[in-house]
Structure 1
Amino acid sequence: MDIGFLPSMLAMGFAAGVLHAFDADHLAAVSGLSGSDGKRSVRFALHWGLGHGVAVIIIAAAVIVFGAAIPERFSAFAESAVAWMLILIGVHTFYHLWQQHKGNTVHDGKRSNAMLVGLVHGSAGSAPLLALIPAANFSSPAWGMLHILLFNFGLLLAMLGVGATLRRGLLIAANRDGRLQISLQGSLASFAVGFGVFLLLG
């Protein structure tokens, strides 16, 4: 590859990561997690982004450095797991809201399972392809892996922005009207469940 194209190729990696963060299934996952506890939306987004990044880096290293192929059965399993995770996230949020309505306290001590959700998302279909196809054009595996790192950095920054926006929106809703906040949380849960069902049926 012509060295003159190197900066633009690396910039494309960062931009691709930013755009990839706004995939509908990613937004459904982070918004669904945030539906149960809007105050921790940024933390959920961070954990999800880190999990996603770890998966893409592992897959990238296997393909770029070691020349391995990604089994089709693995990708299909990961995509199915994403759908079921979205449904479970939404159902958990509805359960959380119902317990709140009854005046019970729900402890979400392990909601950092957002990292596990991100790990599965990063293993499924489009992320490895979007990141690895341009990386394969680099003559050096080191440059290819740098492209992957920039892809993940762009995705993480964008997802943190999504988390901050969700947190701000839920706090505004809570300050104005408790019913508005609950309605918004319910909508986020419905989005997660609905998109999970859509992925299963698609």
Structure 2
Amino acid sequence: MADMAPLLSILLLGFAAGVIHAFDADHIAAVSGISGRDGGRHSFRFALHWGFGHGLAVIIIATCVLVAGTAIPTRFSAYAEAAVAWMLIAIGISTFMHLWRQHHRRGHARPNSYNAALVGLVHGSAGSAPLLAVIPAAGMASPALGMLHILLFNVGLIMAMAGVGAALRSGMSAAGRYHHALQLSLQSGLGVFATGFGVFLLLSN
């Protein structure tokens, strides 16, 4: 049993790294920006789909590194970072467009869950996910243990992001019950956050 303790510690660290990684600012900006379009009514579902998309990207990268033995190209990471920035800007602009349509009573299309999954897929290809998940997994004794580390990383990330989605749904719902103008202000703030953080990422790269 004592021989298993170091292995269990490493695997638990994978889960913990996934939980921490979920709270990266660009992740929160993306999920909250998408949720802001419909007043947070489907935040939990969007957060889950984002998490699954992110997890799929990490699994694909991990399979290439652990099984095929390929390295992650530096240029690929740079392109993925730029894609994240532009996607955040697009999410913010889209949020404002939805709010404008609501204001003029022209109706609005609810964002689809596959959009959240696509955003998560792009996020999983960029940022610190390869550092926190793939690189530690590559140092393990076998590809099977490495993939188990990746799995626990994704479980932690999805659970944490589901919590974020639930909190967004509850907060936006409470704001809407209190005063509709407060809910609209929160939606606008989420759009500003997504757009502003996207611009920040572009300028910092």
Same fold flag (TM > 0.5): yes
Alignment of 1:28-47 (within 5 A): 28-37=29-38, 38-47=40-49
The code of the aligned residue for 1:88 comes to A
Alignment of 1:17-36 (within 5 A): 17-36=18-37
The answer to whether the Cα contact below 8 Å between 2:49 and 2:113 also exists between their aligned partners in 1 is: no
Cα distance in 1 between the residues matched to 2:184 and 2:30: 18
SS at match of 2:105: coil
Cα distance in 2 between the residues matched to 1:169 and 1:4: 40
Partner of 1:165: 167
SS at match of 1:39: coil
Alignment of 1:15-94 (within 5 A): 15-37=16-38, 38-94=40-96
Partner of 1:143: 145
The code of the aligned residue for 1:7 comes to L
What is the TM-score when the length of structure 2 is the normalising length?
Answer: 0.95
The answer to whether the Cα contact below 8 Å between 2:31 and 2:47 also exists between their aligned partners in 1 is: yes
Cα distance in 1 between the residues matched to 2:112 and 2:172: 21
Cα distance in 2 between the residues matched to 1:119 and 1:25: 13
| Bigger Cα displacement from structure 2, 10-19 vs 133-142 | 133-142
The code of the aligned residue for 1:24 comes to A
Residues 168-191 of structure 1, C-alpha deviation per residue, up to 9 Å, x if partnerless? 000000000000000000000100
* RMSD, aligned CA: 1.0
State the Cα distance separating 1:30 from its structure 2 match.
0.2
SS at match of 1:67: coil
Cα distance in 2 between the residues matched to 1:28 and 1:101: 23
Cα distance in 2 between the residues matched to 1:125 and 1:185: 26
The answer to whether the Cα contact below 8 Å between 2:59 and 2:150 also exists between their aligned partners in 1 is: yes
| Bigger Cα displacement from structure 2, 130-139 vs 12-21 | 130-139
State the Cα distance separating 1:3 from its structure 2 match.
4.4
Partner of 2:186: 184
Cα distance in 2 between the residues matched to 1:163 and 1:103: 27
Partner of 2:199: 197
User: Hey, which bits of structure 1, 4+ residues long, moved more than 3 A?
Assistant: none
Residues 116-146 of structure 1, C-alpha deviation per residue, up to 9 Å, x if partnerless? 0000000013111110122122111100000
The code of the aligned residue for 1:121 comes to H
Stretches of structure 2 lacking an aligned partner (at least 5 in a row): none
SS at match of 2:153: helix
Aligned pair count reads: 201
SS at match of 2:23: coil
Cα distance in 2 between the residues matched to 1:53 and 1:100: 33
Percent identity over paired residues: 66
The code of the aligned residue for 1:134 comes to P
